[in-house]
Amino acid sequence: MLLASNNPRTPWMIVLSDDKKKARLNTIKHILKNVEYPEKIKNKHLQTDPEVLRTGREEIEIMEQNLPSENLSHLNG
C-alpha cells in the first residue's frame, strides 16, 4: 500500500512512536511547518527528529533493504 500510494501529491510520513511524547511533538512540528497560518513560527523552530519522522520514500528504501532479494523481483519489471 505504501509503495502504491506514496507520491509527490500525497506523500506519506512515518512516525516511529516508541516514545509517544516525542512522536506527538514531532508530528505537531511537521504539521505546523507544512501548513500556512498567520504569524507562522519560523521553520528553524520546527525542525523534526529524523529518528522519529521519516518520509514514505525513506521507509520504502528501508523496507526494500530488509527484504530478501527474491522478494523484490516483481518490482524490477
3-state secondary structure of 15: strand
- Evaluate if residue 5 carries a pLDDT over 70: yes
Q: Looking at this protein, which amino acid is placed at residue 69?
A: S
**Buried b / exposed e across 6-26, counting CB within 10 Å, b at 16+?**
beeeeebbbeeeeeeebbeeb
Q: What is the mean pLDDT of the chain?
A: 89
- Evaluate if residue 19 carries a pLDDT over 60: yes
Q: What is the pLDDT of residue 47?
A: 95
- Evaluate if residue 75 carries a pLDDT over 80: no
Q: What is the pLDDT of residue 59?
A: 93
- Evaluate if residue 42 carries a pLDDT over 70: yes
Residue 55 burial (10 A CB sphere; 0-12, 13-18, 19+): middle
Cell numbers linked to 33: 511547518
